[in-house]
């Protein structure tokens, strides 16, 4: 078997049931060079220990998942969320420093859904913008890029009121691109009639903080959150989307992030192998720049 | 109990298990003045009989559901689809003539998903535009408006490659607004960051062929097609969306179309009552023009 693509990064959610030590070990053992981490397994061992483990692994760090969830109105819950996001910014900076050369200090932000009982989508979206305004100075000071992740519109009410790449870019527009960018995830944006135009715009505006890939397939499972698949198993046109991202000059690592009960039930080393194979077949052919 | 709103139209899918006779009877008995029909129950009795039954009911006819499903490449299946859509246009014209004064000759079009094995979303969308071009002359001759219905992006791969109101309007732009318009259905477009701007645009361009309402609620059921609810039971802001539609000058009937296993299991007369009550509480207050 050939070595995995050097730009492949395993998002830790793809091997959800692996603890941090296992995740680092199987990723490295699989010949993958980079990893995106989640806060919970990092916090389980503590940031200092996690950072040391990451350094020992020799892996590049690509993103921390995830901050956000700040659509609620002013009050104690909102303050707690903003404070927690400040912690996430510090975690991101520490992990990026601990990762191998070429690591990127990117914190992925999922906006959050409508507050319970609310139908005020416009207000919720305004509060996302407000939260970015509160967090941006700290992110800038820490050298961290906040990556707003538009989620598929099927999550607009309960998970993320930011639904399109264009909307995320509009929100980011008030800020320095080094501080507020966007996460371009094929699963969430493939359907958008304006996706190619918005990817080009994101590139022009210098805001593609991370490019993430996985596939879409129907029928959707009972929990639609788990409807993500290996690239190539569904209907997403990775050729066109990847070329659009690469054509902007994007030169960072590319994460594969799969929420899928069957994938999670697989032995993690096997998942790494399958991820590398599917990435090599669907994404790698489009990474060369003309 | 007060009489149902005079602008309420029951889309027959809301009482899916009722045959045409029952649907007409319970709608009228419930004091509702208009109905949107589906092709299958009409064809079950034949178009001439269905038209006579509709005339006898005294109800206005609002839309026929549905044509479309023409994303496949050229070949026998595509020809069959185009031919079938021509039949649907004739059915729409006949039913609109048979309905009471104020009926509207609107055929709702659901584009269809990606052909099996295809990842070419852009091509599929082009073929929708081509199909409109083939059907428009016949629709114009028959006095029928083809209403392109953008469906929620969760259906973009398997049911409708037209995903936003803006995209539907872009497709319609090549045609006379009397011949090609759009269906504005709250369930499909509520999440769109540009929904208010696109409703206003649809009004300015004279393309709102039908306004349809039902609600969105999570968690989604196993079959996401059935995740529609009575207005007021979910998170859609009917105040803002309805006012936006009415502010364009929209003065037609408004359909309630609910695909929901629990609603379908209810006795149809009861469903009509509940529909009228929910419509009265959520939509009616916003129908007066200033």
Q: Which domains, ranges and CATH numbers included, belong to chain A?
A: 8-286 (3.20.20.150)
Distance from CA of A248 to the nearest CA of B (A): 20
Put simply, the answer to whether A163 touches B114 (Cβ < 8 Å) is: no
pLDDT of residue B2 exceeding 90, the answer is no
Q: If pLDDT is split at 50, 70 and 90, which confidence band does B191 have?
A: very high
pLDDT number for residue B112: 98
Q: Which residue of A has its CA nearest to B218?
A: A158
Q: If pLDDT is split at 50, 70 and 90, which confidence band does B1 have?
A: low
Chain A residues with beta carbon closer than 8 angstroms to that of B220: 154, 220, 224
pLDDT number for residue B100: 98
pLDDT number for residue B289: 66
Per residue, the 3-state secondary structure of chain B, as one string, reads CCCCCCCEEEEHHHHCCCCHHHHHHHHHHCCCCEEEEEHHHHHHHCHHHHHHHHHHHCCEEEEEEEEECCCCCCCHHHHHHHHHHHHHHHHHHHHHHHCCCCCCCEEEEECECCCCCCCCHHHHHHHHHHHHHHHHHHHHHHCCEEEECCCCHHHCCCCECCCCHHHHHHHHCCCCCCCEEEEEEHHHHCCCCCHHHHHHHHHHCCCEEEEEECEECCCCCCCHHHCEECCCCCCCCHHHHHHHHHHCCCCCCEEECCCCHHHHCCCHHHHHHHHHHHHHHHCHHHCCCC
pLDDT number for residue A145: 98
What are the distances in angstroms from CA B86 to CA B6, B44, B98, B170? 31, 18, 19, 23
Put simply, the answer to whether B166 touches A190 (Cβ < 8 Å) is: no
For range B105-126, the mean pLDDT: 97
Tell me, what's the ipTM?
A: 0.95
Q: If pLDDT is split at 50, 70 and 90, which confidence band does B290 have?
A: low
Select from B158, B163, B191 the Cβ nearest to the Cβ of A193.
Answer: B163
Q: Does the pTM of the predicted model rise above 0.90?
A: yes
Along the 290 residues of chain A, how does pLDDT read in single tens digits?
A: 589 999 999 999 999 999 999 999 999 999 999 999 999 999 999 999 999 999 999 999 999 999 999 999 999 999 999 999 999 999 999 999 999 999 999 999 999 999 999 999 999 999 999 999 999 999 999 999 999 999 999 999 999 999 999 999 999 999 999 999 999 999 999 999 999 999 999 999 999 999 999 999 999 988 988 999 999 999 999 999 999 999 999 999 999 999 999 999 999 999 999 999 999 999 999 998 65
CB hemisphere CA count around B45 (13 angstroms): 16
For residue range B31-75, what is the model confidence (pLDDT) as tens digits? 999 999 999 999 999 999 999 999 999 999 999 999 999 999 999
pLDDT number for residue A71: 98
Q: Are A11 and A256 in contact (CB under 8 A)?
A: yes
Q: Does A2 touch chain B (CB under 8 A)?
A: no
Q: Does A157 touch chain B (CB under 8 A)?
A: yes
Select from B120, B125, B216 the Cβ nearest to the Cβ of A157.
Answer: B216
Select from B236, B234, B232 the least CA-distant residue to B219.
Answer: B234
Distance from CA of A97 to the nearest CA of B (A): 37
Chain A residues with beta carbon closer than 8 angstroms to that of B122: 240
Residue that the structure tokens 């002359």 belong to: B137
């Amino acid at each position: 078997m050939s070595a995995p693509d050097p730009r492949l990064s395993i998002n830790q959610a793809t091997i959800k049931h692996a603890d941090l030590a296992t995740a680092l070990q199987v990723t490295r053992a699989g010949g993958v060079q980079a990893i995106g981490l989640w806060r919970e397994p990092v916090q389980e061992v503590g940031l200092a220990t996690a950072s040391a483990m990451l350094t020992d692994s020799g892996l590049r760090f690509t993103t921390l998942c995830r901050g956000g969830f700040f659509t609620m109105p002013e009050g104690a819950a909102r303050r707690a969320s903003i404070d927690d996001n400040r912690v996430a910014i510090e975690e991101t900076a520490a992990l990026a420093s601990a990762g191998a050369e070429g690591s990127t200090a990117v914190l992925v932000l999922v906006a959050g859904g409508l507050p319970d009982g609310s139908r005020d989508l416009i207000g919720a979206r305004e509060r996302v913008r407000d939260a970015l305004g509160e967090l941006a100075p700290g992110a800038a000071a820490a050298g961290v890029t906040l990556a707003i992740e538009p989620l598929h519109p099927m999550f607009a009410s309960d998970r993320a009121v930011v639904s399109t790449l264009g909307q995320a870019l509009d929100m980011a527009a008030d800020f320095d691109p080094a501080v507020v960018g966007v996460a371009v995830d094929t699963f969430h944006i493939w359907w958008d009639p304006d996706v190619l135009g918005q990817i080009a715009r994101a590139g022009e505006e210098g805001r593609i903080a991370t490019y993430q890939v996985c596939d879409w397939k129907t029928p959707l499972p009972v929990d639609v959150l788990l409807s993500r698949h290996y690239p190539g198993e569904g209907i997403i046109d990775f050729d066109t989307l990847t070329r659009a991202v690469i054509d902007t000059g994007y030169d960072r690592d590319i994460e594969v992030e799969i929420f899928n009960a069957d994938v999670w039930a697989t032995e993690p080393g096997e998942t790494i192998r399958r991820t590398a194979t599917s990435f090599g077949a669907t994404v790698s052919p489009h990474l060369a720049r003309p």
